[in-house]
Chain A
Amino acid sequence: MQTALLFGPVFQHFDKLLIGLWQTIQLATISIVLGFIIGTLGAVGRSFGPRWVSWPIAAYVELIRNTPLLIQLYFVYFTLPLIGFKFTSNTAAIIALSIHLGAYITEIMRAGVESVSKGQIEAARSLGLSQWQIIRLVVLKQAARAVYPSLSAQFILQLMGTSIVGAIAAEELTAIANNLVMQTFRSFEIYILLAVIYFVVVQAASLLFALIGRVLFRWKV
């Protein structure tokens, strides 16, 4: 190969990549929190709700899980304005990412909810716990513990999934790296550095999720 690797011009712009990284972390964190809330409500609605609640949730899950995230981004950003809902790039990205993650979390949490034995729910009911208390204290806590590894894997996927929101002109790490490629034409160096940054961040996030898991689920089964 004739091109030598030159990291000097790339490190000059390292501060821009760090700003991009911060935007990626924000996008991921906000959409993970919102997606988790949507998914948990979805799982409860699907398992305990009446048909008019559980069927629309099932439709939502199927619709989102069978279409690409990129199309969902395009839909929120390009199509919704035509019927009067206009969002900025970053807001549209958060909306699409949260709705996307929510569908997956619904399915994961539903698996957890169904792993809780009916006997426990009946026992809780005969002890006089309200339906809300049963769902919150008996079902959801155990469900979250049972599926925690799947949840953290989905969160990690979400973190990496933020890398495509540049398609709707949202700013994040990959979009900024692409801008730098165009300014410096050092594509090899920048993409190598980009991969290293993602690797470190994903490793750190895995560690963080493992620690959170240890703290939250200390009780013995």
Chain B
Amino acid sequence: MKFMKIAAAIGLAAAALATVSTTAFAQTVDEIIARGKLIVAVDTTTPPYGFLDADLKPTGFDIEVANKMGEALGVPVEFVTVTSPGRIPALLNKQVDVVISIFSITPARAIQIDYSIPYAGQSAVVIAPKSTEIKSAADLVGKKVGLTRGTGEDGLLTAAAEANPGIEILRFDDYSSLLQAMVSGQIDAMGGGDYGEIYLKKAQNGDDFEQKYTLKTFYFGIGVAKGNDNLRQWINTWLFVQKADGVLEALSMKYRNQPLPALPVF
């Protein structure tokens, strides 16, 4: 009897949990509006896209995109902070509705999740002190090159290190650690976004750094769970209007201090 009671209690608890998890996660635009909030995964360590302002509130390019998306849907936005390696699991675990976090569109990632059309783009570049002569990957041999684990630069520079033995790759978990490593001289060069200089310039020795060469231009999409076409289609439509109205361009000038590259669609 006692066993039966316990089993029944566990069964009830499991049923309750199952109900909670299905209601918490919204599949469609209607469900998001019905629930009354949009849950967005962001990374607050990736200035100028996501960072904490002086009041420790999330701000940046991606954060404003998320807030504008919430406004368009008529619901407030709830932010869930993730690191770059945590972006795909956040969608797979159904913890968030969308990921807006400098999420470069790659075919490998698109096996696990779906992307909207690009809303922003930027070039990955190699940044190093002015005194260092670097023109290509061959010049990185014998140097310590830092990057953020799991970013586009990771793939590009890892490939460069395989092609040019002697490049030592150091992987950091977030962008602020990477910048700190560059400033404190723990690494000789770093892979990062084309806006990276703006932030390095804030450091005491910030003027010593410059862009060396471009690795590749990346396009950022808004990530949704695999097969969530209802939400993805709405996001694409909304992004089309944002681009046409010049909203994204204004955000780029505000946060990146340079215009967006041409954004192709798919």
Which of A's residues lie within 8 Å of B, judged by CB? 1-3, 74, 77-79, 81-82, 86, 89, 166-169, 175, 178-179, 181-182, 185, 187-188
Contacts and interface: CB of A to CB of B under 8 A. Distances in A.
Interface in B3-33: none
A69 B170 CA distance: 20
A178 B186 contact: no
Interface in B142-199: 146, 149-150, 154, 170-173, 177, 180-181, 184-186
B113 to A, nearest CB: 9
Secondary structure type dominating chain A contacts: helix
B186 to A, nearest CB: 6
18 contacts: A1-B92, A3-B92, A77-B181, A77-B184, A78-B186, A81-B184, A86-B186, A89-B170, A166-B173, A168-B177, A169-B177, A175-B171, A178-B150, A179-B171, A185-B108, A185-B111, A187-B85, A187-B92
A185 B184 contact: no
Interface centre among A74, A77, A178, A185, by most chain B C-beta atoms within 10 angstroms, is: A185
A98 B85 CA distance: 28
Q: How large is the interface on B (under 10, 10 to 19, 20 to 34, 35 or more residues)?
A: 20 to 34
Contacts of A79: 184
A77 B182 CA distance: 12
A2 B172 contact: no
Given A78-B184, A182-B154, A167 B149 contact: no
Given A169-B171, A188-B92, A182 B177 contact: no
Nearest to A169: B170
Contact of B85 (A74, A82, A178): A178
Contacts of B226: 2-3
Given A78-B181, A178-B85, A3 B186 contact: no
Nearest to A1: B92
Given A3-B112, A168-B177, A178 B149 contact: yes
A81 B173 contact: no
A160 to B, nearest CB: 17
B150 A86 contact: no
Contacts of B108: 185
Nearest to A81: B184
B201 interface: no
B112 to A, nearest CB: 5
A167 B109 contact: no
B215 interface: no
Given A2-B226, A77-B186, A169-B170, A182 B85 contact: yes
Contacts of A86: 185-186
B112 A181 contact: no
A78 B111 contact: no
B172 A182 contact: no
A78 B154 CA distance: 21
A150 to B, nearest CB: 31
Contact of A169 (B89, B146, B150): B146
Interface in B221-265: 226-227
Nearest to B226: A2
Contacts of A81: 184-186
B88 interface: yes
B10 to A, nearest CB: 21
A202 to B, nearest CB: 23
B186 A185 contact: no
A186 to B, nearest CB: 9
B177 A167 contact: yes
Contacts of A188: 89, 92
A185 B185 contact: no
B103 to A, nearest CB: 13
A187 B177 contact: no
